[in-house]
């Protein structure tokens, strides 16, 4: 079960602001944390509703558990969601997760000083779970430095800062334990996995490297496991800021098929000698895939001349294709290769 880490109900380079000398074999993070913590805020919302939390919609097709700190209905104007965020500039713009402020009638941001400000939504990323809030900039606002996730390495030390369980700013340390994780939220899934503790209320908080740069936005955890958290790479934050300026408008490609990965067992059931590829489970009628002649049972092994090892590979290739362009797909049908040209469509709203 993948859980969004919000709380409804309540380069490893050593720089001047990076890690200090080690103490007893561990990195000294005191000065780094003092520098970074003021840029992190708590985000809460109010809804004009008496619905229970369980009735609130979610943003994805996974089973997402919410974390209420109370049982029963919500009173009018009661704050019913708490998450985290961080200042990305000195003009009052704050990055958080879109699911933290979903359905909000009012949004509030609490600063490190304890002062609470009204906020409104300035932009929402079109394909990942990120939103940009705007507040009247407080004096001497501390903003983060947004890095790139391209150079993040497994084993790199990272800091997660946020508002777990509504307790206030909490800092945890760990390492990057995986990259490029696909969780099924959308075609752009490319999560950084970390064992730095991420808990309900951390959603929207920053994941820092040891140079004090944001390399990710903490978003989800696996509720049945410990030490497995996921962050949206900071590259998407740069896209979010472009969206604020009206400069980012990405149309995702779409085929209209449901596919499954092909492991050894699946390969044998299909009469194949090797695994790999994406097998078509269903072709929706009147879709680009249907019109191009794709059928249930076809094994997609290449798309745009790129090898397809899994459904994730296919999803990312198709998503990057602009609607209206022709995608060349290589399939195996009854162990015979065929090439099909698919005019990629736009994801239905």
Catalytic residues: 99, 129, 203
Contact 223, 206 (CB under 8 A): no
55-59, long-range: CB < 8 A, 24+ apart: 56/8, 56/102, 56/103, 57/102, 57/103, 58/4, 58/99, 59/4, 59/98, 59/99, 59/102, 59/129, 59/185
User: Can you list the pairs that 28-35 forms with residues at least 24 positions away whose Cβ atoms lie under 8 Å?
Assistant: 29/159, 29/171, 29/173, 32/159, 32/208, 32/210, 32/212, 33/159, 33/161, 33/171, 35/142, 35/212
Helix/strand/coil percent split, the chain, to 5: 15, 40, 50
């Amino acid at each position: 079960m993948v859980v969004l880490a919000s709380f409804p109900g309540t380069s490893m380079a050593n720089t001047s602001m990076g890690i200090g000398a080690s103490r007893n074999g561990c990195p000294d993070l005191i000065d780094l944390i003092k520098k970074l913590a003021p840029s992190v805020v708590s985000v809460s919302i109010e809804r004009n509703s008496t619905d229970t939390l369980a009735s609130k919609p979610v943003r994805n097709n996974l089973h997402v558990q919410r974390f209420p700190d109370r049982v029963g209905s919500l009173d009018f104007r009661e704050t019913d969601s708490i998450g985290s965020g961080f200042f990305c500039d000195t003009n009052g713009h704050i990055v958080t997760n879109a699911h933290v402020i979903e359905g909000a009638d009012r949004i509030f941001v609490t600063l490190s000083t304890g002062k609470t400000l009204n906020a409104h939504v300035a932009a929402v990323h079109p394909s990942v779970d990120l939103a940009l809030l705007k507040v009247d900039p407080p004096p001497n606002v501390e903003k983060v430095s947004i890095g790139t996730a391209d150079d993040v390495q497994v084993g790199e030390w990272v800091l997660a800062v946020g508002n777990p369980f509504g307790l206030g700013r909490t800092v945890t340390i760990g390492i990057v334990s995986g990259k490029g994780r696909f969780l099924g939220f959308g075609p752009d899934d490319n999560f950084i996995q970390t064992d730095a503790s991420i808990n309900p209320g951390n959603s929207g908080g920053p994941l820092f490297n040891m140079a004090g740069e944001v390399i990710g936005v903490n978003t989800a955890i696996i509720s049945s496991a410990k030490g497995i958290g996921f962050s949206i790479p900071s590259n998407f934050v740069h896209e979010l800021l472009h969206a604020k300026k009206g400069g980012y408008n990405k149309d995702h490609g779409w085929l209209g098929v449901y596919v499954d990965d092909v492991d050894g067992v699946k390969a044998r059931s299909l009469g194949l000698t090797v695994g790999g590829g994406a097998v078509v489970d269903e072709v929706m009628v009147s879709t680009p895939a249907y019109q191009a002649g794709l059928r249930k049972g076809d094994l997609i092994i290449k798309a745009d001349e790129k090898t397809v090892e899994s459904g994730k590979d296919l999803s990312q290739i198709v998503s990057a294709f602009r609607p209206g362009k022709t995608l060349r797909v290589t399939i195996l049908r009854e162990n015979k290769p065929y090439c099909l040209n698919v005019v990629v469509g736009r994801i239905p709203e």
